[in-house]
């Protein structure tokens, strides 16, 4: 027996989907506008997780330029059948509804390479695949109801998919319009066949405080489906906002080799008031079956912060091999799969020892483009992110340093910038909130080529911004209110990222930043 603390993937890893192939479990989550997209994780025991790649990791697979924050890649579903991994997902452009849609990727190795997307041509979001025992393949998804009984009612639809042509075929079936009168925004529909019965799992209530998991069953894949009288079978909305985990929903089921069942799902951990800067995270709960229905977190009825995982979930019963506790602390080196940029490849960055060479780009974090930004998810409430860099700005518009990013309109910068009079250097702390930038503090820097160390020290919702030159320890420049950097305040679906930024704010530039080191150090 092994105890695992929840969440199993801390930080912004929402909409988890899972499958097991032999001795290995595989898991993928949403990534929205970040690139590479759709991270792929592997585990042998549901406890230790290793990221092995991304499904979308090369130019030409998808065009996400111009997609604003909290658009992009929504709610994947991962399945394995007959030697092939299948991943279906939705590309969403909230400014242009004609762009994007549902697509499928395939791979024989989950670490990649994955295929180019094949577009499926059906509307709605959150597609899922079901491979039936008779060889037929079915695609499910959710959309606004065609004939709604209330505002924002959604429905789950089903159509057959021809895997040879990747074309939908046959009639459409509407399976579900909600377990609760007035329920809105069903998402994450998944089908399973257990002991000859078909089960439909779906989340309702919207992916926020009122999120909930419901289940229905049928003797036929096309329905009709009858809901569980216990619906919703798992939710935390009745516990209020002053609780350790809120917004529980969007579950996917997996059976372990010992016959036990488990669910991965999303939830948020508020702190410093009703704010969750780490975003929607991935949690694990046990599932049992009673009277032909799944029971989530039996005996508790809520997501536990510690889960006992029996040894029988490991298919080989042996050692974990290459798997290690995750995430790791300390230096984040080039090649670490935690690094992500925005909307496209990081062709502005070149590995350089334990750090990077970053070419300054005109784009900045307010642009729905690909600025010179590389970041990692904030995965701890108390953490210090630190970088040491060398940078000689060519003018007052050039800036390089650290960023805490929530969206285009909401982020904090701690950067080395050109002097306001076009000479010298300074450290500048800027908070952009709801699109309005405010200078929090600044400090002049001595002339010379001494490296500058910048640090963001988060202790709960207090973000201290520090800077030092040469060997001197960083000292405070300003503070920022972290409560403005989560989706409760800023809107959208994202947690916070912390990382590197190099921008000339619209002006052409040939400048290069030498990043000697970047560290992510939780405070415990």
Positions marked active-site: 15, 187
Distance between CA atoms of residues 309 and 45, nearest Å: 8
Distance between CA atoms of residues 76 and 518, nearest Å: 31
Residue 9 CB contacts under 8 Å (≥ 6 apart), including other chains: 16, 27, 29, 41, 49, 281, 282
Single out the residue of 176, 184, 187 nearest to residue 228, CA to CA. Answer: 176
Strands (E), 281-424: 281-290, 293-296, 306-309, 330-331, 341-342, 349-352, 355-359, 372-377, 382-390, 399-405, 411-418
Residues forming beta bridges with residue 426, ordered by sequence position? 417, 444
Distance between CA atoms of residues 47 and 487, nearest Å: 28
Distance between CA atoms of residues 197 and 137, nearest Å: 16
Single out the residue of 509, 316, 294, 303 nearest to residue 417, CA to CA. Answer: 509
3-class SS of residue 489: helix
Distance between CA atoms of residues 325 and 396, nearest Å: 43
Residue 471 CB contacts under 8 Å (≥ 6 apart), including other chains: none
Token digits of residue 421 = 């009079």
- How crowded is residue 250: how many other Cβ atoms within 10 Å of its Cβ? 28
Distance between CA atoms of residues 411 and 337, nearest Å: 23
- Half-sphere exposure of residue 273, counting CA atoms within 13 Å on the CB side? 11
Distance between CA atoms of residues 397 and 411, nearest Å: 18
Distance between CA atoms of residues 291 and 422, nearest Å: 74
How many degrees, rounded to 5, is the angle at CA 374 between CA 323 and CA 490? 100
Helices marked H in 227-317 — which ranges?
A: none
């Amino acid at each position: 027996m092994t105890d695992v603390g929840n969440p199993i993937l801390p930080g912004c890893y929402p909409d988890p989907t899972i499958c097991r192939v032999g001795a290995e479990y595989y898991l993928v989550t949403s990534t929205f506008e970040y690139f590479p997209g759709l991270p792929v994780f592997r585990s042998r025991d549901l406890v230790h997780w290793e990221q092995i790649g991304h499904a979308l990791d090369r130019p030409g697979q998808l065009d996400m330029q111009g997609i604003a924050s909290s658009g992009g890649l929504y709610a994947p579903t991962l399945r394995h059948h007959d030697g092939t991994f299948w991943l279906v997902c939705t590309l969403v452009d909230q400014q242009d509804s004609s762009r994007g849609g549902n697509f499928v990727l395939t791979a024989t190795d989950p670490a990649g390479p994955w295929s180019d997307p094949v577009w499926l041509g059906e509307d709605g979001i959150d597609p899922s695949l079901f491979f039936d025992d008779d060889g037929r393949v079915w695609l499910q998804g959710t959309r606004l109801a065609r004939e709604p009984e209330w505002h924002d009612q959604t429905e789950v639809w089903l159509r057959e998919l021809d895997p040879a042509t990747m074309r939908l075929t046959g009639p459409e079936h509407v399976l579900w319009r909600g377990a609760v009168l007035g329920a809105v925004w069903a998402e994450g529909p998944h089908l399973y066949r257990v002991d000859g019965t078909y089960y439909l799992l779906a989340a309702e209530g919207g992916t926020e405080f009122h999120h909930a998991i419901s289940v229905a069953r049928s003797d036929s894949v096309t329905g009709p489906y009858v809901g569980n009288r216990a619906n919703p079978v798992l939710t935390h909305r009745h516990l209020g906002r002053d609780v350790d985990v809120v917004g529980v929903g969007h579950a996917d089921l997996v059976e372990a080799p010992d016959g036990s069942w488990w669910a991965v799902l999303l939830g948020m951990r508020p702190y410093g008031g009703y704010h969750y800067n780490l975003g929607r995270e991935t949690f694990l709960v046990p599932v049992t079956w009673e009277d032909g229905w799944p029971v989530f977190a039996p005996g508790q009825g809520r997501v536990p912060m510690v889960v006992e995982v029996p040894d029988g979930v490991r298919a080989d019963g042996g050692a974990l091999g290459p798997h290690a506790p995750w995430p790791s602390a300390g230096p984040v080196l080039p090649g670490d799969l935690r690094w992500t940029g925005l909307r496209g490849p990081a062709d502005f960055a070149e590995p350089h020892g334990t750090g990077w060479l970053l070419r300054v780009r005109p784009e900045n974090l307010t642009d729905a483009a690909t600025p010179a930004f590389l970041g990692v998810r904030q995965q701890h409430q108390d953490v210090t992110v630190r970088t040491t860099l060398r940078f000689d700005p060519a003018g007052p518009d050039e800036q390089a340093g650290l960023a805490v990013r929530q969206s285009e309109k909401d982020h904090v910068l701690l950067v080395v910038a050109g002097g306001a009079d076009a000479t010298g250097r300074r450290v500048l702390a800027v908070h952009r909130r709801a699109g309005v930038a405010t200078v929090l503090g600044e400090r002049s820097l001595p002339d010379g080529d001494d490296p500058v160390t910048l640090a963001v020290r988060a202790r709960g919702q207090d973000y201290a911004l520090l800077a030092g030159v040469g060997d001197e320890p960083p000292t405070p420049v300003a503070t920022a209110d972290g409560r403005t950097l989560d989706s409760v305040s800023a809107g959208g679906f994202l947690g916070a990222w912390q990382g590197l930024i190099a921008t000339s704010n619209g002006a052409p530039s040939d400048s290069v930043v030498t990043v000697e080191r970047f560290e992510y150090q939780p405070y415990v």
